[in-house]
Amino acid sequence: MAGNAQPAGTAGSIDKEALRRKYAEERAKRLRPDGNEQYQRLEGKFAAYAEDPHMPVKPREPLRDHVTFAFIGGGFAGLVAGARLAERGITDVRIIEKGGDFGGTWYWNRYPGAQCDTASMIYMPLLEETGHMPTEKYAHGPEILEHCQRIGRQYGLYENALFHTEVEALEWYEAAHRWIIRTNRGDEFTAQFLGMGTGPLHVAKLPGIEGIESFEGKSFHTSRWDYGYTGGDPFGAPMTGLSDKRVAIIGTGATSVQCVPHLARAAKELYVFQRTPSSIDVRNNQPIDPEWFADVAQPGWQKRWLENFTANQAAGPGASEDLVQDGWTDIAKRLRARIFTLPPEKMNPEGMMSAFEDADFEKMEEIRRRVDQLVEDPETAQSLKAWYRQLCKRPCFHDAYLQAFNTPGTHLIDTGGKGVDRITETGLVAGGKEYPVDCIIYASGFEVGTDYTARAGYDPVGRGGVRLSEYWADGMRTKHGIHVRGFPNMFVVQPTQGANLISNIPHNLTESGATIAAVVDEAIRRDAAEVEVTEEAEQQWIDLLLSGPGMMIGAQDCTPGYYNNEGQEPGPKAKLSVGYPAGAMAYFKYIQDWRDSGKFDGLEFH
Ligand code: NDP
């Protein structure tokens, strides 16, 4: 099936065979042998692209001292770990951050329209502790950045923080039972405990398009937005600098979806270069009513909301109510509705997978119909339809993106899965046609499929001189996604091998923060110089993880993207990129019990 022919109908009337064929055809157009190698870092000729456009780097003297806890990364992970430690009276905490302030992804990504994709009530950490009421169901970037600063201030994390500083080396100093930390600012200090929370998407990447270095106009990556050139600001002021400019944006992922409506309004001409369309469902953002919030914000409210959101995505019958009511809980509810109405003879893995597919086909048909309803030009509408299962790519939710293509001067350049052919001194070539432009904006995303230590920019050297990259050569090995054998007093803060709740990353991080604070508190209480997971406990955890069903997203038959290693065989390491087999809800319960028991099973303190 090609061109305008499309499988029609809902539920029973969907031609499933035709859809499966169409999905396979569209995937085949996008497969390429170079996988992750197709991208390049903001290095070499592009090093200037990585510089901080938001704040000048202040000179300072290198540090040579000792702290109780050093944490790498000043985004949500570092902030919540710092907060949980402070709550237990551990305040000698130094956060090391490459940006000029706290915020992590929200420090860097100040592109117009940046907004959280998961509801603020559960996405923004420590709302109850700080007393902040989000202003919108999905808060915009500046408010989230400000919230990060609020957490930093409230928990006294600014005093000891090192901004515009990148860790270059980490080494376990066996004799002194502490870590040595070296940075690009000449620091060399020690810490008894070390946390690492550098985030999964912090290394910006550019497409490896032929001729990319030859372009003589203005260009930048979305995570380094140049308001000096475009005019406007992250709060939504009009980008007057673009009123006489021809602008190209490369990429149509979650970032592009949020900034295209703003660019469409501002630019004289806007060319959106699309390789794969995103699925765009309804956003339905709304201001939060202070009276409603006052009613909701009773003691323990955020934990209740977090648990309710997670419960609504669990495999079982779900929670009796849906507090968050967004696109994520909708996906899960539809799926459950299908599965739990199956006749008894179809209540088996095959029947359930088929019900899953039906729910997905139905949802995606709805999303494709929405494109026809909102986009005036039928050819453009056809090109904007996503032909893959919803969780093959990051689902997007937006109420102005599709409509932006009705703006005069905004053009969708559908490259039919092939991407931009070439960049010249004056423009871009796609499908053999040249588009002269003044400015190219790269909405080309962040490194994902590369090794943890390659992305981190340092490779911790643990007990006996073993590097983390060596220890993880066959895949990640931890207990709880946090503790690593051979790397005493070190804690990793990220979702994998823990709850792995992809729809709300901050929930994973706040739980890890609580776990780490409990362990450090216990080590201090016992006057232990070291705490480390035992070999046996780590192996048991790995065995448990491998007994599970594996990853639910990123199937190999999906259209290529960072969810499935760009369609390349992920290799044996990917088997370990999983979460707790019983699901996120069960993990959060398990980890709370583990902490509260006070036994810290699997760890040795000495
Ligand atoms: P993505 O990796 O999702 O998107 C990159 C885009 O660039 C894709 O559309 C990709 O096409 C395209 N591209 C790459 N190479 C070429 C090429 N040679 N020619 C044309 N197009 C090309 O990056 P984003 O920055 O959009 O998003 C990254 C992640 O960050 C999201 O998935 C999400 O997890 C997070 N995010 C979250 C937000 C939130 O919560 N509010 C907002 C924004 C981002 P193709 O699809 O074919 O590879």
What local confidence, expressed as pLDDT, does residue 1 receive? 32
Round to whole Å and give the CA distance between 22 and 74: 44
562 CA distance to ligand 1 centroid (A)? 9
pLDDT band for position 455 (50/70/90)?
confident
C-beta of 283 in contact with ligand 1 (< 6 A): no
Residue 289 lies in a domain: no
C-beta of 594 in contact with ligand 1 (< 6 A): no
What local confidence, expressed as pLDDT, does residue 8 receive? 42
CATH classification at residue 567: 3.50.50.60
C-beta of 223 in contact with ligand 1 (< 6 A): no
Residue 333 tokens read as: 């509810």
C-alpha to C-alpha distances, 26 to 7, 33, 309, 363, nearest whole angstrom: 14, 16, 33, 18
Segment 467-518, tens digit of pLDDT = 999 999 999 999 999 999 999 999 999 999 999 998 899 999 999 999 999 9
Round to whole Å and give the CA distance between 251 and 207: 9
Among 407, 442, 477, the domain-final residue is 442
Mean pLDDT within 535-560: 84
Segment 289-345, tens digit of pLDDT = 999 999 999 999 999 999 999 998 876 666 778 999 988 888 888 888 888 888 888
Residue 389 tokens read as: 């299962």
Mutation probe of ligand 1 site: the residue of 106, 201, 503 with most atoms within 8 A of C-beta: 201
Residue 4 tokens read as: 């305008």
Query: Does residue 288 carry a pLDDT above 80?
Result: yes
70 CA distance to ligand 1 centroid (A)? 32
Residue 371 lies in a domain: yes
Cβ atoms within 10 A of the Cβ of 555, count?
Answer: 14
Query: Does residue 11 carry a pLDDT above 60?
Result: no
Ligand 1: which residue has its CA nearest to atom 34?
394
Among 442, 475, 491, the domain-final residue is 442
C-beta of 558 in contact with ligand 1 (< 6 A): no
278 CA distance to ligand 1 centroid (A)? 9
Residue 118 lies in a domain: yes
Helix, strand, coil percent values for the chain (each to nearest 5): 40, 15, 45
Residue 305 lies in a domain: no
What is the extent of the structural domain holding 31?
Answer: 9-48+204-283+354-442
Residue 464 lies in a domain: yes
Mutation probe of ligand 1 site: the residue of 394, 504, 553 with most atoms within 8 A of C-beta: 394
Using the atom order of ligand 1, give the atom closest to the CA of residue 39.
15
Q: Where are the alpha helices (DSSP H) in 157-253?
A: 227-230
Asked if 479 and 473 count as a contact pair (C-beta separation under 8 A), the reply is no
Whole-structure pTM value: 0.94
467 secondary structure, DSSP code: B
